[in-house]
Amino acid sequence: MSNTEGVSGASPVQSVDRAVSILELLAGRGELGITELAAHLGVHKSTAFRLAAALERRGLIEQTRERGAYRLGFGLLRLAGAMSGQMDLNQQSRPICARLADEVGETVNIAVLDGSSAVNIDQVLGRSSITTHNWVGQRTPLHATSSGKVLLAHLPDDRAAALIAEGLEPSTPRTFTDPAALREQLEQARAAGYAYTVEELEPGLNAVAAPIRGPGGLVIAAVSASGPSFRLPEARIPEVAERVIAAATEISYLMGHLPG
């Protein structure tokens, strides 16, 4: 079997499809043994066992007794909880983001950390927006976006250092690619309560973002306002930052952060 093959010679896609089928089968039937799983999947019992073992290691399924039938595991609750948190964040923040977009006349996004990138999970267009570009679901570099800088600035020092060490690829000639210069920007972001970018992700695009906090003050997301540099020049960033910080504070309160 080659290194690119999945379980029992199956392609990776086929193995993933079969693993998802196991989860769906257990969701519908409660408990099933290896023989039953193999029959439903149309595979040999050894293949079904390897798939089940992989899911069990991740906590997505569990055995009801020693070498017994399988059922869904509590690991699924962790995944569902993460998704529920994002959905709750979207629902709670949308009216505030809509108001912010109207106030500043620019596009407002909510972004969360995903590995070494920022991912936008919601977007509201401002009244002055001249673009219909949809950023939702897109991964953007932490060091070249205002939201990314906010998220990076509030990570533990060792985690932030590791991400910076992975490399700072330039998106435009104005992207900060020097680690020392970026670290200075992150310090300024923590002190000021916001981060900003000036044509660092795309030419002609500026943005400013502030942290959204959850219970205990942990930064869970960032809210940003972005627009063309002719309408959101660097000189206007402090003014827009005040409104973005106010929106972030309001969203944080709804997400369980009590300032004190």
> Residue 184: which CATH number?
3.30.450.40
Whether 85 shows a pLDDT value over 60: the answer reads: no
pTM of the model: 0.68
Range of the domain at 32: 7-73
Q: Is residue 259 part of a domain?
A: no
Same domain flag for 133 and 59? no
Both 103 and 65 in a single domain? Answer: no
pLDDT at 63 over 70: yes
Q: What is the pLDDT of residue 38?
A: 92
pLDDT tops 80 at residue 87: no
Q: What is the domain-level CATH number for residue 56?
A: 1.10.10.10
Q: Is pLDDT larger for residue 161 or for residue 136?
A: 161
Radius of gyration of the chain (CA): 23
Tens of pLDDT, residue by residue over 117-129, are: 899 988 998 876 6
Do residue 95 and residue 210 come from a single domain?
yes
| Same structural domain, 67 and 183 | no
Same domain for 109 and 212, yes or no, is yes
- pLDDT for 142 equals 95
Exposed e or buried b per residue across 60-71, where buried means at least 16 C-beta atoms within 10 angstroms of its C-beta: bbeeeeeeebbe
94 and 189 part of one domain: yes
Question: In this predicted model, what pLDDT tens digit does every residue of 226-254 receive, in sequence order?
Answer: 999 999 999 999 999 999 999 999 999 98
**Alpha helices (H) along the chain:** 12-29, 34-41, 45-57, 75-104, 146-153, 157-165, 179-192, 237-254
Query: Same structural domain for residues 137 and 28?
Result: no
For the chain, the domain total comes to 2
The verdict on residue 1 lying in a domain is no
Report pLDDT for 222.
97
